[in-house]
Chain A
């Protein structure tokens, strides 16, 4: 664990030593603003809640999270530092966890910077702050899911652009799996168990459940499993391919 924390510290210093962190934070805030106020009709609805803010998070993350995760391993491979990293006395699990935690905390920071929005709804009306808190939690957990996928995709290649595209595609599949247009493809011929399974994979459904304010253990387990599965795959990919 000490190894993971050390890696996490290094990664975070790395973010803020380059423009990556600042560019990401600014774009994240501008995009959430556009989505909330224009597409989400924040004022016109006349309801004091953050639903228009959270509703677009899955789409925002679809592109912004792979932008963060694409460099995680591809850059190590490209610059040769992967050899330095994996000859230090720490395990692949430490390295994968450390990098994941750093990126996840960083996205958490981006979310925290949207707090003025929360203050605004409280000024305009009296929202259910429990639901908003749950929304933040759900959004952060979902970001973790996207991030674990992106990190694993980044380990597959030394090219960051390839890592980005792979990340977006796999995240997109995970998002889509619960939407009616995908479900309609399977309806009618696939057994109900398979339908439930496919629908249950979707980030949408679990995020929607949590952001309604219902923190169900099943949703938490779902995100924990998604993150766990992809990080485990990440470790395997590194073990098999680290020297290539």
Chain B
């Protein structure tokens, strides 16, 4: 379990992380979401014992990270931002170094290195110096070193940055596979990633916690939540007809797509489908919106910036 209690980090007069408190339990995949410079990385650096908080405490499985940093680090696997590694070493040498540093017994080092190489599909490049590898491979080497000791807590700073869509998919799979009995914290500014792997989201901006919810919960805040979008012949006429319905609060026409916002919790979709059949409109696309995370993200972080 991770407990952050009023974590603060200040650099001179600049406050990078401002009074952040939260608890993460096993089985949770927590996504830190926020604009660049929001304090996501700084928070991760404090959880992993790299930075000392200016005030507040971070507990990792009950161990105060600032008090007994080395003991706390044993429970954690960490991928720092940019996946740094020692470029002159081969993948295998590097992973063996990390395994030994992670206090894996010398007999088990080779086995755990093999396992990590296997999990991240690195066998083709295992004897190559890391600096000769592509960005995607380097990122996977960084992930391999984070999971080599099978840690209970994984903290990954932008794990899929620089990967192609296939590699992103693989990494997300890997995270989901490990998720059930671990604590995983990832930071990202890719919204689809949050929807794909996280079961909890914290939106952070200017070092402050602005929202803490499930991805579904967040999406429900979207003004598009339960709205209906359609592409139809004679959209303007259709819009004026549909605006009259009691279920429709508002109609918006943008780029040839008509979006209708609900007046009540339910009934909008049925009312619209009935109107379509009654009027025999030619509809080429029709969908019920779950909500748009990017829109929620923007409204939450922008309100904050404006205030």
Residues of A within 8 A of B (CB): 2-3, 6-7, 9-10, 13-14, 17-18, 79-81, 83-84, 86-91, 242-243
Contact = CB atoms under 8 A, between A and B. Distances in A.
A243 B101 contact: no
B210 to A, nearest CB: 25
Given A87-B78, A88-B73, A89-B70, A6 B84 contact: no
A144 B73 CA distance: 31
B129 A17 contact: yes
Contact of B86 (A6, A10, A243): A10
Interface-central residue, B45, B78, B80, B102, by most chain A CB under 10 Å: B80
A242 B50 contact: yes
A13 B94 CA distance: 10
A87 B76 contact: yes
A83 B80 contact: yes
B48 interface: yes
Given A10-B86, A17-B88, A243-B45, A90 B76 contact: no
B82 interface: yes
A80 B138 CA distance: 14
Interface string B90-103: 00010001101111
Contact of B101 (A3, A18, A80): A3
A6 B97 contact: yes
Interface of B: 45, 48-51, 70-71, 73-74, 76, 78, 80-82, 84-89, 93, 97-98, 100-103, 129, 145
Nearest to B74: A89
11 contacts: A2-B103, A3-B101, A9-B100, A14-B89, A80-B80, A83-B50, A87-B80, A88-B98, A89-B73, A89-B101, A89-B102
A81 B78 CA distance: 12
A3 B93 CA distance: 16
Given A6-B97, A90-B101, A80 B82 contact: yes
Contacts of A88: 73, 98, 101-102
The 4 closest A-B pairs by CB, nearest first: A80-B84, A83-B80, A17-B88, A88-B101
A55 B100 CA distance: 42
B50 A90 contact: no
Nearest to B97: A10
* Chain A at the B interface: SS class: helix
A17 B89 contact: yes
Contacts of B82: 80
Contacts of B102: 88-89
Contacts of B78: 84, 87
Contacts of A9: 97, 100
B73 A81 contact: no
Interface-central residue, B81, B93, B100, by most chain A CB under 10 Å: B100
B94 to A, nearest CB: 9
A9 B100 CA distance: 11
A188 B70 CA distance: 53
A89 B89 contact: no
A2 B101 CA distance: 8
A91 B84 contact: no
A20 B307 CA distance: 55
A83 B93 CA distance: 19
B50 A87 contact: yes
Contact of B87 (A7, A13, A79, A87): A79
B100 A84 contact: no
A81 B141 CA distance: 13
Nearest to A79: B84
B88 A87 contact: no
A21 to B, nearest CB: 11
